[in-house]
Amino acid sequence: MIKQTLEKEKVATEGIDLDSVVYFSGKFVPLREANINIMTHAFQYGTGIFEGIRGYWNTDEKKIFIFRMKEHFIRLKNNCKLLRLELDKSVDELCQITVELMQKNKPTCDTYIRPNVYKAGIIVGPSLINKNGKNPTGLSICSMPMGDYVDILKGLHVCVSSWTRVDDNAIPPRGKIQGSYVNTALAKTDALLTGFDDSIVLNSNGHVTEGSAMNLFIVRDGVLITTPVTSNILEGITRTTIIELAKKELGIETEIREIDRTELYVCDEAFFCGTGAQVSPITMVDNRAVGDGKVGSLSKKLQDIYFDVVRGKKKEYLKWCSAVNY
């Protein structure tokens, strides 16, 4: 019986170590002990904010470099305002907790870090108001090994989703709101079930927003183009990184404007970017080849530069990389 239980647990966790250390309710505990009540407000209503942060293992220096950690926690703090979350930790405190978490787990591979700030009240009713302290804010931070979220080498075959991106005046996509990722789940799942690697989602006006859970760039006639933050997209940290790297490293300015669906069919290159996706070239959209159907030269250059930067190999960008010593 014990053996069967352990085997089921292993399958259910998909390689996540339940004995790894997490930060939960103000202290460091094993992941298996970091549990919430099923009546928790965030579980019932999706009322929480999360972040995705990557730590990259540098094999030469034998240390983890956490990429743009401070910027991620600044965004987290800003997004808390959307759901009236009362996070009592400063950005510096959140960074320190994360560094300590890495030091306790001592990963020697690329690592994904997931902070969650959520409505922790054990109450019924969707109100975000913390009346008489009955709907307080909870905080958790966990980490796990993570390699490539999608195949970043061969080029992705994607489709334009039939699902519309949620609107800023409905559930603001600029915030990584837990409940809004049902929209992502629907778009991603339908793409996978119809044989695609992922999807591109349009807004209610029929213009391109981004991928299912990542920002999007296209290239037309040598011009790098991405959608504006007012097009119902996440205000991506990797997105701003790519814009800066393209300018500083390659001398290429980025045009920020709305993108029509059919531009996806006639562009020369396209790629996703994000903490999970990193820099992921797209070679087909709706069964139409992007450019010559191969990974584009600009996409590949930016991908190579990006991976040197995040692993702490380009000294001029070390300001973005928080090195953790064990």
Query: At what angle are helices 91-105 and 69-80 packed, to 10 degrees?
Result: 130
Fold exhibited by the domain 13-145 = D-amino Acid Aminotransferase; Chain A, domain 1 (3.30.470)
Q: Is 309 helix (H, G, I), strand (E, B) or coil?
A: helix
Q: What is the amino acid identity at position 235?
A: E
pLDDT, average across residues 123-144? 97
Evaluate whether 13-145 and 156-310 have a shared fold: no
Mean pLDDT to the nearest integer, 173-202: 98
Give the model's pLDDT for residue 255.
Answer: 98
User: So what's the pLDDT on residue 15?
Assistant: 72
Mean pLDDT, rounded, for 127-154? 91
10 is catalytic: no
pLDDT in tens, 36-66: 999 999 999 999 999 999 999 999 999 999 9
* Cα gap 267→219, rounded to integer Å: 6
CA separation, residue 249 to residues 59, 218, 241, 275, 314 (Å)? 24, 18, 11, 20, 11
Q: Quote the pLDDT of residue 11.
A: 40
Is residue 263 very low, low, confident or very high in pLDDT (cuts 50, 70, 90)? very high
Asked if pLDDT for residue 246 goes beyond 60, the answer is yes
Strands 198-202, 137-145: pairing is unpaired
Q: Are strands 53-58 and 63-67 parallel, antiparallel or unpaired?
A: antiparallel
Domain boundaries, the chain: 13-145, 156-310
Share of the chain above pLDDT 90, in %: 92
What tens digit of pLDDT does each residue of 157-174 get?
A: 999 999 999 999 999 999
Looking at residue 132, what DSSP letter applies? G
Of 63, 119, 176, 188, the active-site residue reads 176
Interval 266-289 mean pLDDT: 97
Q: Which among 81, 127, 104 is positioned nearest to 20, based on CA atoms? A: 104
Q: Is 163 in a helix, a strand, or coil?
A: strand
Residue 14: per-residue pLDDT: 63
What is the arithmetic mean of pLDDT over 1-13?
45
Is pTM, for the whole model, over 0.85? Answer: yes
Mean pLDDT across 14-25: 91
Residue 10 in this model has a pLDDT that exceeds 60: no
Question: pLDDT class for 152, splitting at 50, 70, 90?
Answer: confident
Please determine, for residue 2, whether its predicted confidence score (pLDDT) is greater than 70: no
pLDDT class of 74 with cuts at 50, 70, 90: very high
Give pLDDT tens digits for 215-231. 999 999 999 999 999 99
What's the chain's average pLDDT?
Answer: 94
Summarize the confidence of residues 80-84 as an average pLDDT. Answer: 98
Domain 156-310 carries which CATH code? 3.20.10.10
